[in-house]
Amino acid sequence: MRCTALLIEDNDQNRYLATFLLEHAGYTVVSAADGPSGLAIALKHLPDVILLDIQLPLMDGYAVARALRTTPSFASVPIIAITSYAMSGDREKAFECGFTAYIEKPIDPQAFIDQLLPYRAARHPAKESP
């Protein structure tokens, strides 16, 4: 079964690049360009892993991560921050908000896919077979 990744990123070039890389690596990709749309798509598609930009219109990545973590079926779904915020304080805040891991921009194609390998077999709990 293909892993479904939800990509929430407002920068068109980054979204196209990440989508291309993910699809090339065998993921099914759904995407959004702002926080509220990303949350709606998450609830609809039940992605296996979520790639979440921090700086987003309407609702930032921290708020999206918090909202997901308070939704029971998303309590354990991997949420990976993709951000150019490289300072350690931001990293701590990301983990406090429920992020699982952190990938820094600019996106390096091989490193991007390699850093997602640990989550490749992740399955949204609502989709696991009994």
Under the binding rule (CB under 5 A), the answer on residue 35 touching Mn ion is no
* Angle between helix 12-24 and 109-116 (nearest 10): 60
Distance from C-alpha of 71 to C-alpha of 83, rounded to nearest angstrom = 23
In the complex, residue closest to Mn ion by CB: 55
How would you label 31-66 residue by residue, b for 16+ Cβ within 10 Å and e otherwise? Answer: bbbbbebbbebbeeebbbbbbbbbebeebbbbebbe
Stretch that binds Mn ion, among 21-29, 36-44, 46-54, 103-111 (CB under 5 A): 46-54
Under the binding rule (CB under 5 A), the answer on residue 62 touching Mn ion is no
Stretch that binds Mn ion, among 7-15, 42-50, 94-102, 117-125 (CB under 5 A): 7-15
Under the binding rule (CB under 5 A), the answer on residue 18 touching Mn ion is no
Nearest alpha-carbon partner for 30 in 43, 14, 19 = 19
CB of 55 to Mn ion, least distance (A): 4
The answer to whether the CB of 81 falls within 8 A of the CB of 103 is yes
Under the binding rule (CB under 5 A), the answer on residue 51 touching Mn ion is no
Under the binding rule (CB under 5 A), the answer on residue 48 touching Mn ion is no
Q: Which of 5, 6, 10, 35 binds Mn ion (CB under 5 A)?
A: 10
The β-bridge partners of 63 are: none
Chain residues in the site for Mn ion (CB under 5 A) = 10, 53, 55
